[in-house]
Structure 1
Amino acid sequence: MVRDFKFGDWNHKVLGNTWRVNDDGTWYLPERTLGWGILGWCSSYLKNEDGEQWRFTPEQARFILWWYAVDCRGKFAYRTGVLQRLKGFGKDPVAAALALVEMLGPVRFSHWGPNGEAVGKQQRSPWVTVNAVSQSQTRNTSNVLKWMASPKLIKEFDLVIGVEQAVALGGRAHIIFSASSYRAVEGNRPTFSILNETQHWVEGNHGILMFETLEGNLTKSPNGTARMLSITNAYMPGEDSVAERQRFAYNEQEELKRMFPDMPIYGGEIYYDSLEADPKTPTDPETIIEVAKHIRGDSVWLDPESIVGSFMNRSIAVSRNRRMFYNQVVAKEDALFEEAEWDECRIRDKDKQDLAPNTEIVLGFDGGKTDDATALIAKRVSDGAIFPVMIWERPPKEIEPDWIINREEVDAYVHFAFRTFKVLAFYADVALWESYIDSWTKIYRDRLVVKASAKSPIGWDMRGGMKALTKENESVMDKVFAGTFLHNGNRVLRKHALNARRRENRFGTTFGKESRESPLKVDAYAAMILAELAYRDLSESGQLKRRTGHVYAY
């Protein structure tokens, strides 16, 4: 659930229930939860860095109550969760506390107490993993464990904390610290996994493989009791990090709940908890101080004046400071789109979210060979909505080091599109695919209403069409900003659109990759622009009016 909460002059975004209140102003808390017993256990067995009794902040405590919420059968309400907060929130102590309580505390449902409260018990054979993509991240958590574990805890449970693992109960209970190695966690069946700093988990550092392995291990757990919690800062859109993928999955979940409120969510809901500054929040010193006091929540040790200092340091990109200290999901300054702008253009009418057979469409194609992606994108003529037919991306090099695009498969998808839909125009970039474009032209030229160029009904040379590409890119940008662009929400196209960077030329604003060697691809966006060009030419040709009597406005 996403809500806007008004703090001062700003409408900040709140996801989850940690900051939700009832109509009478009291905190909105779960009806049934193991969290009360867990909070008590932590107060009894954990200590802070000064050696005093451990206390969660009220904000952290409410999060724990919701994370350990159970239903009327005692089953967890959430199997996976995300805690997204600003830098300095105290994520490592929270992760350490949850690791210890999952190892030794009352984290599994036992029975209902005399007042109907949920009572927990210890996990029988706990196998807890603390996962990150760098050794320093896991070491931060293991270092916290050393001062957090009280002498009482160490003695009573025979706890031994090492660099790579902690062991208790005579070897029956484990916490494993795992960094960068998806192979190290493959095959294990953790009872609980903490994923630390998932905004840094990307394909290049094996973060995606780590996540997929942990997710696979989660599904193997008996009775669905294993769970996984990610702790993250705001991610950078377009990097396709685990944090971005989980936010996308959460948004998909909420959209389905909106469209089909009575439909059960198999596998359990994602619990997403975040407190984010209003997207319109400026970055002048007075505003930063005011807003930081709200976005820090109960982390009162964070000094708003120090945050001002970071914003005033112009060697640090403002977008990075917004992610770190406003907890905003914002793109780099030269990105074409913000995440919210692109997502706002998703088709909301559920009757129009699918591309039906025999629908009139135009196609755009951009093909690669080894490193670049290949994409075939359709645009529905009736309303201009975008639907990727297929997007091919290179798999991780560890899996297929010698991968090249399967051209026969791409060819098959082109023929599938022509068999399934009424294709009125098809613009395909000629680079690397000339022979296939010649073949498609021989078969389908008589079905196409407009030609891609004077030389070819399908072939379109992106290297020589800079003016047209620039103007079409600007047109798409204007529509996205106005909220009149339509797409079906495809995750890979979304990633490529958010990866696209502004590039200026003598004709205006075009797009490009972040850098020549960047792993962040934009090829699906390029194919979409070609589909847009085909749609424009079709609309301006007058052919549609002559064929149907209806004027299609571009």
Structure 2
Amino acid sequence: MTRPEADRFVSLGFTAIDWIETYLCHGPGDVQGQELVIDDEMAAFIVKAYRLDAETGRRKVNRAFLSRPKGRAKSELAGALVCFEALGPCRFDGWDANGDPVGRPQVYPFIRCLATEENQSGNTYDNVTAMLEHLLETAGDEFPGIDLGRSAQTSSRIYIEGGGEIVPSTSSGAAKDGGKETFGVFDETHLYVQPELRAMHKTVRRNLVKRRAAEPWSLETSTMYAVGDASVAEATHEYAKAVRAGRVKDGGLLFDHREAPHVEDLHDDAQLLPALRYVYGDAAEWMDLERIAADMREPDTDPADARRYFLNQPGTASAKAFNRAEWDALARPDFTVPEGDPIVIGFDGAKWKDSTGFVATHLETGYQWPLGVWEAPLNKQEAERWEVPEREVDLCLALAFDTYNVVRVYADPPWYEEAVARWQGKYGEKTVAEWWTHRDKQMAFALRAYRTAMSGGDLSHDGDEAFARHIGQAVKRPARAKDDDGKPMWTIQKDRHDSPRKIDLAMAGCLSWEARLDAIAAGLNKRKRKSTVIVL
């Protein structure tokens, strides 16, 4: 065996590419089952991901991030690497006569494929099952005893003869199995914005340090994120910037990001098509770039989303209604509203599948905090059966009236007409008012005032995580109305109709702020003079 020179680039990536192309096929899609050939761009990523220390033979990469535009088959590549990590010679086992590394299979591979939603196995795992089915059909004799989990006893995971598993997991399952991971794949981490998904990422990455001899590592695949979403992809990018700037020590991060050059006008083919050819790299040969360009220009396609998904550029702030970093800077967690002080309240929500909440605003200071929030489970099946506990909603509002001097409540009534009528009967119609958020012009002006209050520092809040998340997830929707100068305005919506990223507290916060402005205009913020009785 010949050890290479200490400064020589050595990698098991070449072995990985040969193994993948020998045994695996394309995953689900138009070319499913066909011969899988790794293009040069992705081959370069694999070689970098499997780089070894020329002295010790240990892996140099502990964490890899692959950022490419939509349609670049990132999940398929991740699935192929899962198969190689499960069955192939993926760990160092010495040097050959030329000083090149020799690999061996893992002793007990435990691989986790992470998905964003409870009732999905995830794109990566779907590729794994398709690839291993092909492997068993074409080379099953070389890899006996693989159980693809088709039986009731072994469903939801793949077992490998001699010990080893490939497991699809979600936020509820990531903390299980005792942290035996040798490899973890996080697919589409720009979607990891919910606290449960960020916690899942942290848990699995923490588990990866436990088996030193197995040299565990993780792979994140993603398109670029929406700025301010506080997604795992955004956090990884910030970490990469800190490493590059020398602010933190490199812990073995491979950040492989390909981004298109800036395109000023998406309707100009002379600018857009070269940018698409660049960002899709080797895949530009078989991608329908003209079709992608046409889709980017559709009237219902947000330009910021088009740039993010197809040019692989971080989402611009223009797509977001509010600046999350600006919001975070307004936190005053040390402040407490005194009992009995005047407050106003905003209410918004739905009864099923979504979320509902109250946001209070201190009349004197403009300090906001959520009185209560009820969010549907992430699990779609559970969300279908979930309903807001209306009794708790009533009790939450009653507690606010008992604790503070509530001078005004603005409530969006859809799905809650009966509840709002009940509140008006109990607390008075002058105090509780219907405030319909579907009124384009009124809503647009209210949102503009709310955002102006944030930018001007007139507003503060308690730093509540759910409140901040809803603020950060609200995206602009062009309003039909224009302002008094004829300029276009906007309201807010979720990033898509069925999105798990809720915005109801952002809407309730806006209604609460509007209630404060109206209460001040009505003079409700003026302290009443106490009358003095003189007895002669």
| TM-score interval, normalised by the smaller of the two chains | 0.5 to 0.7
* Residue 19 (structure 1) aligns with: none
* Residue 300 (structure 1) aligns with: 282
Retained in 1: the 8 A contact 2:474–2:492?
Answer: no
1:504 to 459, 470, 480: 480
SS in 1 for 2:512: helix
Aligned-partner Cα distance in 1 for 2:445–2:67? 38
Q: Larger radius of gyration, structure 1 or 2?
A: 2
* Residue 246 (structure 1) aligns with: 232
Say whether 1:346 aligns with 2:326: yes
SS in 2 for 1:223: coil
Unaligned stretches of 5+ residues in structure 1: 1-31, 112-117, 442-453, 548-554
Say whether 1:232 aligns with 2:222: yes
Displacement of 1:494: 3.1
Retained in 1: the 8 A contact 2:110–2:182?
Answer: yes
Aligned-partner Cα distance in 2 for 1:142–1:516? 31
SS in 2 for 1:171: coil
Aligned-partner Cα distance in 2 for 1:529–1:521? 15
* Residue 456 (structure 1) aligns with: 430
Residue deviations 1:320-368 (CA, integer Å, cap 9, x gap): 653442124559xxxx9614x634552465xx53332335875433355
Alignment map for 1:144-543 (pairs within 5 Å): 158=143, 170-175=161-166, 178=168, 187=177, 190-196=181-187, 223=210, 228-234=218-224, 245-247=231-233, 250=236, 274-277=257-260, 281-283=264-266, 284-296=268-280, 299-303=281-285, 306-312=288-294, 318-319=301-302, 321-328=306-313, 330=315, 338-339=319-320, 342-343=322-323, 345-347=325-327, 349=329, 353-358=331-336, 363-366=345-348, 368-379=350-361, 387-395=369-377, 396=379, 398-399=381-382, 401=385, 403-405=387-389, 407-408=391-392, 411-412=395-396, 415=399, 426-429=408-411, 431=416, 432-434=418-420, 437=423, 441=427, 455-457=429-431, 459-463=432-436, 466=439, 468-476=442-450, 490-494=467-471, 497-498=474-475, 501-504=477-480, 509-511=490-492, 521-537=502-518, 540=521
Displacement of 1:183: 7.8
Length, aligned pairs only: 468
Displacement of 1:317: 5.3
Aligned-partner Cα distance in 1 for 2:237–2:458? 20
Aligned-partner Cα distance in 2 for 1:122–1:519? 39
Displacement of 1:80: 6.5
- Please tell me the residue identity of whatever aligns with 2:307: R
Query: TM-score, normalised to structure 1's length?
Result: 0.60
* Residue 7 (structure 1) aligns with: none
Structure 2 vs 1, CA of residues 53 and 233 (structure 1 numbering), >3 Å: closer, same or farther?
A: closer
- Please tell me the residue identity of whatever aligns with 2:513: E
Structure 2 vs 1, CA of residues 376 and 303 (structure 1 numbering), >3 Å: closer, same or farther?
A: same
Residue deviations 1:474-493 (CA, integer Å, cap 9, x gap): 43467789999877574531
Aligned-partner Cα distance in 2 for 1:254–1:378? 38
SS in 1 for 2:16: helix
* Residue 21 (structure 2) aligns with: 47
Q: Percent identity?
A: 19
Structure 2 vs 1, CA of residues 63 and 493 (structure 1 numbering), >3 Å: closer, same or farther?
A: farther
Query: TM-score, normalised to structure 2's length?
Result: 0.61
Aligned-partner Cα distance in 2 for 1:130–1:404? 32
Residue deviations 1:390-417 (CA, integer Å, cap 9, x gap): 4321224644735432644774587479
Unaligned stretches of 5+ residues in structure 2: 1-5, 27-33, 95-100, 150-156, 484-488, 529-536
CA RMSD of aligned residues (A): 6.1
SS in 2 for 1:377: strand
Displacement of 1:234: 4.6
Aligned-partner Cα distance in 1 for 2:85–2:373? 41
SS in 2 for 1:463: coil
Aligned-partner Cα distance in 1 for 2:10–2:523? 69
Retained in 2: the 8 A contact 1:81–1:270?
Answer: yes
Residue deviations 1:5-63 (CA, integer Å, cap 9, x gap): xxxxxxxxxxxxxxxxxxxxxxxxxxx99994432432564437899998774676457
- Please tell me the residue identity of whatever aligns with 1:39: G
Displacement of 1:502: 3.9
